[in-house]
């Protein structure tokens, strides 16, 4: 066997790297709940997740005149995502992590909806089936009879998180073709930071910052382990495997959330949660890729070619 034959396939390594990033993203509830137990507010937790990435990626901000428009677009999408993420944090504080995770992983449905509304990319049969599967999964977990008081409402208020993330994915994939991956990340993280900073600063003093050294350790871990590190790995690995395989590998985020709820917080995973998670994972695998805006054929008048 030659040395080349013994080396791992670059595509396989990249796929494993994307799966690793999904696992790291899925650790967010572990860090967030520890900070919530210390009294840190949702806006401060969200800000701390994006601030480190924004600072490290600051040199890559697309400030050139030719790229400024796309930079502002993705910055606005990042701002919306950061604000929407507050609802997700409040959901995992009051609702089971399994339920909050399933709702959050519905973002492909929102992404396809925005592609239809903004780019005219009509949903395919696969997209419709995937959307129905996600809606069914959400319906299984939004039954007020199976949740603690206030949990169902918290899950409903968390819907802006997958909606804004779905919009950000659309902007990343289809509306910013002139930006590099690092420029997109820099603009998105800067937007999230700018949107969350005013909300974090207007909280009560006790909710702005951790009061213990352990709390600061959780803050640092949240920014490094669940944001900066996986984002950089994903930026390098995802283009090597393509959108379909990256999406499939990225679905490891949901099982990680379920495991965190079960192992770290003693949440029970019943048949309803298992079915809902399976539906969402299957829907993610079934969802078609979003085409760049410039590749969408324009609608021509009748009789023209």
pLDDT at site 242 = 63
Distance separating alpha carbons of residues 237 and 233, to the nearest angstrom = 6
The answer to the question of residue 301 being in a domain is no
The answer to the question of residue 63 being in a domain is yes
* Domain ranges, residue 199: 11-293
Number of domain units in the chain = 1
The answer to the question of residue 303 being in a domain is no
The answer to the question of residue 2 being in a domain is no
pLDDT tens for 227-271 read 999 988 888 887 776 655 666 677 788 888 888 999 888 888 788
pLDDT tens for 59-95 read 999 999 999 999 999 999 999 999 999 999 999 988 8
pLDDT tens for 206-229 read 788 888 999 999 999 999 999 999
Distance separating alpha carbons of residues 305 and 166, to the nearest angstrom = 34
- pLDDT band, residue 305 (cuts 50/70/90): very low
The answer to the question of residue 4 being in a domain is no
The answer to the question of residue 265 being in a domain is yes
Candidates 50, 12, 7; CA nearest to 194 is 50
pTM for the structure as a whole: 0.83
The answer to the question of residue 207 being in a domain is yes
Whether residue 272 contacts residue 140, with contact meaning beta carbons closer than 8 Å, is answered with: yes
- SS3 string, 111-132, reads HHHHHHHHHCCCCCHHHHHHHH
pLDDT tens for 111-161 read 888 888 988 888 888 878 888 888 888 777 776 666 777 788 888 889 999
């Amino acid at each position: 066997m030659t040395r080349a034959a013994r080396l791992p396939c670059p595509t396989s390594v990249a796929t494993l790297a994307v799966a690793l990033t999904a696992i790291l993203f899925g650790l967010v509830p572990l860090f967030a709940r520890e900070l919530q137990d210390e009294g840190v507010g949702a806006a401060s937790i969200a800000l701390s997740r994006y601030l480190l990435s924004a600072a490290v990626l600051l040199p890559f901000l697309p400030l050139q005149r030719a790229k400024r428009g796309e930079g502002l677009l993705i910055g606005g999408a990042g701002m919306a995502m950061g604000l929407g993420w507050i609802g997700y944090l409040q959901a995992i504080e009051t609702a089971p992590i399994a339920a909050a995770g399933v709702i959050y992983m519905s973002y492909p449905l929102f992404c396809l909806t925005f592609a239809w509304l903004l780019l005219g990319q009509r949903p395919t049969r696969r997209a419709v089936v995937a959307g129905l599967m996600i809606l069914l999964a959400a319906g299984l977990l939004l039954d007020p009879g199976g949740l603690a008081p206030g949990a169902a409402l918290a899950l409903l208020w968390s819907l802006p998180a997958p909606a804004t993330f779905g919009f950000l994915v659309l902007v990343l994939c289809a509306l910013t073709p002139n930006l590099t991956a690092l420029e997109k990340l820099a603009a998105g993280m800067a937007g999230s930071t700018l949107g969350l900073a005013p909300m974090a600063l207007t909280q009560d003093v006790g909710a702005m910052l951790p009061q213990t050294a352990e709390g600061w350790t959780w803050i640092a871990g949240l920014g490094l382990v669940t944001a900066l590190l996986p984002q950089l790995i994903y930026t390098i690995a995802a283009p090597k495997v393509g959108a379909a395989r990256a999406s499939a590998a990225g679905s490891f985020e949901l099982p990680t959330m379920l495991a965190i709820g079960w192992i770290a917080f003693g949440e029970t995973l019943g048949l309803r949660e298992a079915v809902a998670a399976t539906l969402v994972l299957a829907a993610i695998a079934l969802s078609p890729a979003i085409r760049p805006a410039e590749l969408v054929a324009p609608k021509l008048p009748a009789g023209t070619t």
